[in-house]
Amino acid sequence: MSQHSPAPWFIDGVTIKNARGQSVASAGNNRKVLGEELDASLHLIAAAPNLLALVRRMSALRQMPAEVADIVLSDARALLARLDSH
């Protein structure tokens, strides 16, 4: 599998850009998705690198000390809260 564009990804209008400012994705051509749904979709796409990193960390939860696993789960809750707020 090839590597994705480097994180962080950020929203610039209806375009998602990577850390180098290059376009990763755009939602501008979809006229059926507007307003809050478009905003939530853009935030979900922009969070993709963080979500992938979190899934990779969570896949090793059973091998982690409890204190480290708690931190990973706290990070997961925080990321979900940020996504739920959009």
Helix (H) or strand (E) segment spanning residue 45: helix 35-46
* SS3 (DSSP) at 37: helix
Give me the tens of pLDDT residue by residue for the chain, a chain 86 residues long. 578 888 899 999 889 999 999 999 887 666 666 777 888 888 889 999 989 888 888 888 889 899 998 998 999 899 888 888 87
Residues 6+ apart with CB under 8 A from 59: none
Residues 6+ apart with CB under 8 A from 7: 18, 19, 49, 50, 53
pTM assigned to the model: 0.73
Can you list the positions of beta strands (E) in the chain? 10-12, 15-17, 23-26
